[in-house]
């Protein structure tokens, strides 16, 4: 990874997009999301490193790997958003623009989803915009490169 790469990290169960609760998350697959991100990065002259893991430690390792020297970090931590202080702490060490993304509106769902451990350590949030929220997040990272 280098300063022209956007690292997009996806947490647990996002590999099941398109199958799991389509009434909440829609019919797009994670592969569809990756293509949306790839197109948004290409339009901005940026590269893409797109990853998914169901394992908290793996996500933390990737955050630490990309914490500096990249264009930015986009993270949809999924369920770890509401539970992982360890992931929050890793993101707090990120020195590049960082964006928290959620496909659904976490504030309009079950009460336990209302709190995000990531919001206070990310620079920007995109919540409840469906999978196009990833595109908005990538564009926001690209705008930060122009500043």
Is 113 a known ligand-binding residue?
yes
Q: Enumerate the active-site residues.
A: 25, 102
For residue 39, CA distances in Å to 48, 124, 133, 138 come to: 9, 21, 14, 10
Structure tokens of 11? 């947490």
54 labeled binding residue = no
Ligand-binding annotation for 89, yes or no, is: yes
The C-alpha atoms of residue 69 and residue 97 are separated, in whole angstroms, by: 11
Q: Which residues touch 111 (CB under 8 Å, ≥6 apart)?
A: none
Q: Is 27 annotated as a binding residue?
A: no
Residue identified by tokens 């769902």 is: 109
123 annotated binding-site participant: no
Q: Would you call 71 helix, strand, or coil by DSSP? A: coil
What would the two tokens of residue 82 be?
A: 């509401």
User: Is 76 known as a binding-site position?
Assistant: yes
Q: Which residues are annotated as a binding site for substrate?
A: 76, 82, 89, 103-104, 113
């Amino acid at each position: 990874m280098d300063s022209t790469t956007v690292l997009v990290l996806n947490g647990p169960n996002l590999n099941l997009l398109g199958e799991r609760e389509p009434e909440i998350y829609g019919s797009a697959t994670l592969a569809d999301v990756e293509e949306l991100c790839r197109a948004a990065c290409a339009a901005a002259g940026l590269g893409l490193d797109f990853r998914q893991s169901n394992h908290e430690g793996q996500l933390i390792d990737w955050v630490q790997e990309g914490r500096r020297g990249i264009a930015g970090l986009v993270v949809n931590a999924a369920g770890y958003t509401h539970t992982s202080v360890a992931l929050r702490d890793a993101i707090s060490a990120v020195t590049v623009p960082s964006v928290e993304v959620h496909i659904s509106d976490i504030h309009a769902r079950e009460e336990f989803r209302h709190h995000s451990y990531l919001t206070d350590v990310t620079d920007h949030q995109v919540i409840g915009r469906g999978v196009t929220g990833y595109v908005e997040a990538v564009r926001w990272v690209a705008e930060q490169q122009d500043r």
